[in-house]
């Protein structure tokens, strides 16, 4: 059988605390299903590494990671020592771009046993996928500051959308919608205010959508779409969005399911020309780091998404079942209203596998 090479990059803050729990569960599931995972722990792509060396990653980062079958990633960022735009553009955002991980798939689901902050909602009412464009859009470094330091100072930062880039994420979202029971796609837009790029984005959705007649499409301005995530979450099945809109929706959605500590993500290069990257949606959480109280589920579920992408759906499902049971029976970390540690919760999930 094949041995999968996985880079394990813990990063900073709670990334270093949830990573061992993710590995614990992957270890359990790989033994149960006879999957061979060979992990390479990597301590760069972290602010510690930056402090030691003056850069986030070694010059040969690409040569080291390209041979991997996947990257399992914790979280990066320690703003007390390294400005966020330096640490993130020096690591995670570089991976997404340079490994062309143009799909950021972010499931949102309300679990049984987790109190919902939205009144009257039960599991099943919130169950959708955010498909976030992950390589272009609002995330560019095109622009600059002019007349700096004067009272005429101006700043320009461009957004860039390409037909190639929009069409491929739309195509992915339509195909995903087509495979689901409800076959419903919401396109996040803002074609009233952002009057060049967003009507264009709507037009690309119309064009790409022609090939998917069974999928119903609903274009919504991002402002009301956000409101409906809160008021009518059962409307959503698959939601496709530009890079920044998708970023915001993928914290909002999980917040409505009780905690962002549950939310996983898959940064995919579907063509498998480059390794894909699997990580929690959340960051390094400096406010709770070092206390062993972070919820490890986002990290563990991201590991399940990694196995699914590698073709092991049975192992993915086993992890999900163990997460579901643990959320019902406990132990639970403080963000879920409990008093358990990160380790307690990770162990409980691993033991159920």
Q: Name the residues that contact ligand NAD, by CB under 6 A.
A: 14, 75-77, 79, 84, 88, 92, 260-261, 279, 282-288, 294-295, 298, 335
The answer to whether 253 contacts ligand IPM (rule: CB under 6 A) is no
Among ligand NAD, ligand IPM, Mn ion, none, residue 282 binds (CB under 5-8 Å by kind): ligand NAD
Q: Which residue has tokens 């956000």?
A: 226
Q: Which is nearer to ligand NAD, 83 or 124 (CB)?
A: 83
Token couple for 300: 């563990």
Q: Which residue has tokens 């491929």?
A: 168
Q: Among all residues, whose Cβ is closest to ligand IPM?
A: 88
Of the candidates 11, 264, 283, 346, which one interacts with ligand IPM according to CB under 6 A?
A: 283
Where in 91-110 is the site for ligand IPM (CB under 6 A)? 93
Helices (H) and strands (E) in the chain, counts: 12, 12
Enclosing H/E stretch for 104:
strand 103-109
Q: Which is nearer to Mn ion, 134 or 191 (CB)?
A: 134
Inter-residue contact 9 to 42 (CB < 8 Å): yes
Give the DSSP letter of residue 2: P
Of the candidates 35, 281, 300, 305, which one interacts with ligand IPM according to CB under 6 A?
A: 281
Q: Which is nearer to ligand NAD, 209 or 303 (CB)?
A: 303
| Minimum CB–partner distance for residue 224 and ligand IPM (Å) | 22
Spell out the SS3 assignment of 179-203.
HCCCCEEEEEECCCCCCCHHHHHHH
The answer to whether 247 contacts Mn ion (rule: CB under 5 A) is yes
Among ligand IPM, Mn ion, ligand NAD, none, residue 326 binds (CB under 5-8 Å by kind): none
| Helix-, strand-, coil-residue percentages of the chain, each rounded to 5 | 40, 20, 40
| Minimum CB–partner distance for residue 345 and ligand NAD (Å) | 10
Q: Which is nearer to ligand NAD, 110 or 166 (CB)?
A: 110
Inter-residue contact 219 to 200 (CB < 8 Å): no
The answer to whether 88 contacts ligand IPM (rule: CB under 6 A) is yes
Cis peptide before 331 (omega within 30 of 0): yes
Q: Which is nearer to ligand NAD, 92 or 305 (CB)?
A: 92
Instruction: Order across the sheet with 264-268: list the strands.
Output: 36-42, 3-11, 70-75, 276-280, 264-268, 103-109, 127-133, 238-241, 184-189, 216-221
| Minimum CB–partner distance for residue 227 and ligand IPM (Å) | 21
Of the candidates 12, 247, 335, 344, which one interacts with ligand IPM according to CB under 6 A?
A: 247
| Minimum CB–partner distance for residue 323 and Mn ion (Å) | 21
DSSP conformation letters of 250-274: HHHHHHHTT-GGG-EEEEE-TT-SS
Using CB under 5 A, list all residues that contact Mn ion: 247
Q: Which residues in this chain contact ligand IPM in the complex, by CB under 6 A?
A: 88, 93, 247, 281, 283
């Amino acid at each position: 059988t094949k041995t999968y090479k996985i880079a394990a990059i813990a990063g900073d803050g709670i990334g270093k605390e949830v990573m061992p729990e993710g590995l614990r569960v992957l270890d359990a599931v790989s033994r149960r299903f006879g999957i061979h995972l060979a992990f390479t722990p990597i301590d760069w792509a972290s602010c510690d590494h930056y402090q030691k060396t003056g850069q986030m990653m070694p010059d040969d980062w690409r040569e080291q990671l390209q041979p991997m079958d996947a990257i399992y990633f914790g979280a990066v960022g320690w703003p007390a020592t390294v400005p966020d735009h330096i640490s993130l553009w020096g690591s995670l955002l570089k991976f997404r771009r340079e490994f062309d991980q143009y799909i950021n798939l972010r499931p949102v689901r309300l679990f049984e046993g987790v109190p919902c902050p939205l009144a009257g909602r039960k599991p099943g009412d919130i169950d959708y996928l955010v498909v976030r464009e992950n390589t272009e859009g609002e995330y560019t470094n095109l622009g600059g500051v002019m007349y700096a330091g004067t009272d005429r100072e101006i700043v320009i930062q461009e957004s860039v959308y390409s037909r190639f880039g929009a069409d491929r994420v739309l195509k992915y979202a339509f195909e995903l919608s087509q495979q689901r029971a409800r076959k419903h796609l919401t396109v996040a837009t803002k074609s009233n205010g952002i009057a060049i790029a967003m009507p264009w984005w709507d037009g690309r959705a119309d064009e790409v959508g022609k090939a998917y007649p069974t999928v119903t499409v609903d274009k919504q301005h991002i402002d009301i779409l956000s409101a409906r995530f809160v008021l009518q979450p059962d409307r959503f099945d698959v939601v496709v969005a530009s890079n920044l809109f998708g970023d915001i929706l993928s914290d909002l959605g999980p917040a409505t399911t009780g905690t962002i500590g549950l939310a996983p993500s898959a940064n995919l290069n579907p063509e498998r020309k480059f390794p894909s990257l699997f990580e929690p949606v959340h960051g390094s959480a400096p406010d709770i780091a070092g206390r062993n109280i972070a919820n490890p589920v986002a990290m563990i579920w991201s590991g399940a998404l990694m196995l699914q992408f590698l073709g092991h759906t049975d192992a993915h499902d086993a992890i999900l079942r163990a997460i579901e049971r643990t959320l019902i029976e406990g132990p639970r970390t403080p963000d879920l209203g409990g008093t358990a540690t990160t380790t307690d919760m990770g162990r409980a999930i691993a033991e159920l596998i």
